[in-house]
C-alpha cells in the first residue's frame, strides 16, 4: 500500500463521529506514571494502539488534520530520509490536561500543548513519527499556537505532570527529548539511508498572526483551529543543526538570506528549512483520542548517529529557548526571493508603499526613514500586514479604505505575491504571502537587507 492509501485508510476511522472521551484526572495520571510498562511500545511500529492497552496521556480533546512538509532545497541537501520528501502526513494537536484558565494560585498550567506528527511511507515501511511540545510545565495562555514547539523540551515539570515524565525516565537519560534519527534513516519510499544525517532539533513556529490570537478555553482543541483550511501554512519549520549553548540567544541578530551559509557574516545557529502545510481542516476524533499511536523515538538513537553530541547536550534548552533565538533573528533562511532582484526603482516603490500601508508613514515623511532604515526598528522581523477593516466604508472612511486597497494591489502587482486574510473574527488582517507561501518581511534595524521587502 502506498503512503497516501495508508493515510486515507486511517483517516476514514478518524473521521467517524463518536462521543468524545473525557480527560484523565490527576490521580489517573499519577498512577499511570507509577505502573505503566512502556518498554514494548518503544519498538512498536503500528499506527494504532495495541489491543487492550488504554491511552492516558493526551487521551482527550485532540485535533487532527492531514499535513505535508514543504521542504526547501537546504533540507534535502543537508539531511536525509524524510527530509528528502515527506508530503503525506497527519498531525494531532492535544493537551496533557484539560484546557482551563487557572486561578492565580493554582499549581496547574492552563494547558500543556503537544504536537504529534505521523508521516507515511510507501510499501511495508512503517510511518515516521515525531513528538513535539513547548515545555512540559505548559502555559497559561489558552491559544494552542501561542508558542513554538520542538522535539526537545526541558524537564521543568509541574505537579502532577512529573508522573508522565517518570514513565520515560525509566527508559532514557533524556526523557523530554524525542529523536530524529529514525526520521532521517529511511525515505518516503522505504529506502534505508546508509549514513543518516539528522539535525539536532526540529522546531515548528506558528505565524505571528497565529501567535497573537485571543482564544477562549476550549475543551476540544479543534474548536480553536476551525478557521484553518487546506493549503494554509500551520508552522514554519526550523532546525538546529548542532547543539547550542545559551550564548546563541544573546545579542541582536538578523535573518541571513544568503544562498550559501558561508556567505553569512556570522553562521546563524538555526536554519529555516520549510513549512508544514495543511491538506485538510482540523477535526475532533474519538478514535484518535483513544487509539491513534505515535511512536516516541528515544534521543539515544540520535546519539548513536552522533556520539560527539553527548558531551554538548543541555537538557535545560528546549522550545522556549529556540523560540527566543528565532525571535532575535539568529536565523539562516536561504533561497528567499526579495525585491532587490527587481531593480532599485521597484525596490524603492515597494518600500514606499509598504511604509504607507503598514505604518501610516505617508510620502512626505518617508525620505528620512528610507535614507537609513538601520535606525528604524519598527519592523525588525515583523511580517508585512495591514488591518482587514470591512466596516470602514460603513463608518465613513471610504477614502482610507480605498487607498489601502490600491496599495495592496500595487504591491502585489510589482512583487507577484498575494495578499491573504488571516486571523479570527474581529482580529483579521491582510498578510502578504511570497511565492513560496511564506509571509513577506520588511527588513529594518540591523538586517543587512534593511529597506527590502523579502
pLDDT tens digits for range 106-115: 666 768 888 9
Cell of 254: 538578523
CA distance 25 to 171: 25
Report yes or no: 146 and 215 within 8 Å, Cβ to Cβ: no
Cα–chain-centroid distance for residue 331?
15
Q: Where are the alpha helices (DSSP H) in 130-276?
A: 162-169, 181-185, 208-211
DSSP state letter for 292: B
The total number of residues shown for the chain amounts to 454
Neighbours of 102 (CB within 10 A): 15
What pTM value is reported for the model? 0.74
Cα–Cα separations (whole angstroms), residue 272 to 132, 257, 310, 441:
17, 10, 24, 14
CA distance 314 to 153: 10
Helix (H, G, I), strand (E, B), or coil: what is residue 184? helix
Q: Dump strand ranges (E) for 24-164.
A: 63-71, 89-95, 113-119, 128-133, 149-150
Angle at 318 between CA 313 and CA 322, to 5 degrees: 105
Q: How far apart are the first and last CA of the chain?
A: 42
CA distance 154 to 201: 13
Instruction: Give buried/exposed letters for 342-374 (b at 16+ CB in 10 A, else e).
Output: beeeebebbbbbbbbbbbebeeeebeebbeebe
CA distance 236 to 126: 26
Tens-binned pLDDT, residue by residue, of the chain (454 aa): 999 999 999 999 999 887 787 777 766 665 665 666 666 777 888 999 888 777 767 767 789 999 999 999 999 999 999 999 999 999 999 987 777 777 666 666 768 888 999 999 999 999 999 999 987 777 777 888 999 999 998 766 555 555 556 666 778 889 889 999 999 999 999 999 999 999 999 999 998 888 888 888 888 889 999 999 999 999 999 999 999 987 776 666 777 877 888 888 777 899 999 999 999 999 999 999 889 999 989 999 999 999 999 999 998 899 999 999 998 888 998 865 433 333 334 555 656 666 566 555 555 554 554 444 444 444 444 566 777 765 544 455 566 677 777 777 777 766 667 888 887 777 777 787 766 566 776 554 433 344 445 5
CA distance 91 to 309: 29
Angle at 447 between CA 444 and CA 450, to 5 degrees: 45
Report yes or no: 271 and 205 within 8 Å, Cβ to Cβ: no
CA distance 315 to 320: 12
Query: What are the boundaries of each domain within the chain?
Result: 3-332, 339-433
The residues near 332 (Cβ < 8 Å, ≥ 6 apart) are 255, 256, 258, 261, 264, 267, 268, 270, 271, 272
Cell of 249: 540567544
pLDDT in tens, 407-452: 777 777 666 678 888 877 777 777 877 665 667 765 544 333 444 4
DSSP state letter for 423: S
Work out the burial of residue 62: count CB atoms within 10 Å of its CB; fewer than 13 is exposed, 13-18 middle, 19 or more buried.
Answer: buried
CA-closest candidate to residue 248, choices 178, 331, 310, 319: 331
Amino acid at each position: 500500500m502506498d503512503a497516501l492509501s495508508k493515510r486515507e485508510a486511517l483517516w476514514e476511522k478518524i473521521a467517524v463521529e463518536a462521543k468524545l472521551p473525557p480527560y484523565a484526572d490527576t490521580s489517573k495520571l499519577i498512577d499511570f506514571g507509577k505502573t505503566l510498562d512502556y518498554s514494548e511500545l518503544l519498538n512498536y511500529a503500528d499506527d494504532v494502539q495495541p489491543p487492550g492497552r488504554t491511552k492516558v496521556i493526551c487521551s482527550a480533546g485532540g485535533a487532527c488534520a492531514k499535513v505535508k512538509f514543504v521542504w526547501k532545497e537546504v533540507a534535502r541537501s543537508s539531511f536525509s530520509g524524510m527530509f528528502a520528501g515527506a508530503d503525506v502526513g497527519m498531525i494531532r494537536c492535544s493537551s496533557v490536561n484539560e484546557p482551563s484558565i487557572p486561578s492565580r494560585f493554582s499549581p496547574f498550567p492552563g494547558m500543556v500543548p503537544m504536537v504529534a506528527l505521523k508521516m507515511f511511507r510507501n510499501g511495508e515501511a512503517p510511518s515516521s513519527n515525531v513528538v513535539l511540545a513547548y515545555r512540559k510545565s505548559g502555559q497559561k495562555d489558552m491559544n494552542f499556537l501561542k508558542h513554538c514547539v520542538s522535539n526537545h523540551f526541558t524537564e521543568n515539570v509541574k505537579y502532577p505532570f512529573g508522573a508522565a515524565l517518570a514513565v520515560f525516565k525509566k527508559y532514557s537519560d533524556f526523557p523530554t527529548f524525542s529523536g530524529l534519527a529514525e526520521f532521517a534513516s529511511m525515505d518516503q519510499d522505504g529506502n534505508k539511508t546508509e549514513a543518516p544525517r539528522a539535525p539536532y532539533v526540529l522546531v515548528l513556529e506558528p505565524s505571528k498572526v497565529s501567535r497573537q490570537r485571543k482564544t477562549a478555553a476550549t475543551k476540544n482543541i479543534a474548536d480553536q483551529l476551525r478557521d484553518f483550511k487546506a493549503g494554509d501554512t500551520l508552522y514554519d519549520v526550523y532546525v538546529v543543526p548542532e547543539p547550542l549553548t545559551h550564548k546563541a540567544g544573546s545579542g541582536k541578530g538578523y535573518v541571513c538570506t544568503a544562498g550559501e551559509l558561508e556567505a553569512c557574516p556570522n553562521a546563524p545557529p538555526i536554519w529555516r528549512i520549510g513549512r508544514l502545510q495543511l491538506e485538510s481542516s482540523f477535526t475532533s476524533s474519538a478514535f484518535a483520542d483513544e487509539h491513534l499511536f505515535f511512536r516516541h523515538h528515544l534521543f539515544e538513537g540520535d546519539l548513536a548517529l552522533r556520539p560527539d553530541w553527548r558531551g554538548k547536550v543541555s537538557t535545560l534548552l528546549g522550545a522556549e529557548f529556540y523560540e527566543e533565538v528565532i525571535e532575535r533573528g539568529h536565523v539562516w533562511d536561504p533561497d528567499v526571493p526579495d525585491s532587490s532582484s527587481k531593480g532599485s526603482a521597484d525596490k524603492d516603490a515597494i518600500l514606499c508603499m509598504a511604509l504607507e500601508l503598514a505604518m501610516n508613514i505617508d510620502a512626505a515623511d518617508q525620505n528620512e526613514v528610507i535614507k537609513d532604515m538601520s535606525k528604524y526598528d519598527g519592523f525588525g522581523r515583523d511580517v508585512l500586514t495591514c488591518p482587514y477593516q470591512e466596516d470602514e466604508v460603513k463608518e465613513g472612511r471610504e477614502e482610507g479604505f480605498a487607498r489601502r486597497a490600491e496599495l495592496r494591489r500595487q504591491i502585489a502587482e510589482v512583487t507577484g505575491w498575494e495578499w491573504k486574510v488571516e486571523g479570527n473574527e474581529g482580529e483579521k488582517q491582510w498578510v502578504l504571502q511570497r511565492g513560496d507561501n511564506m509571509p513577506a518581511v520588511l527588513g529594518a534595524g540591523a538586517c543587512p537587507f534593511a529597506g527590502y521587502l523579502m
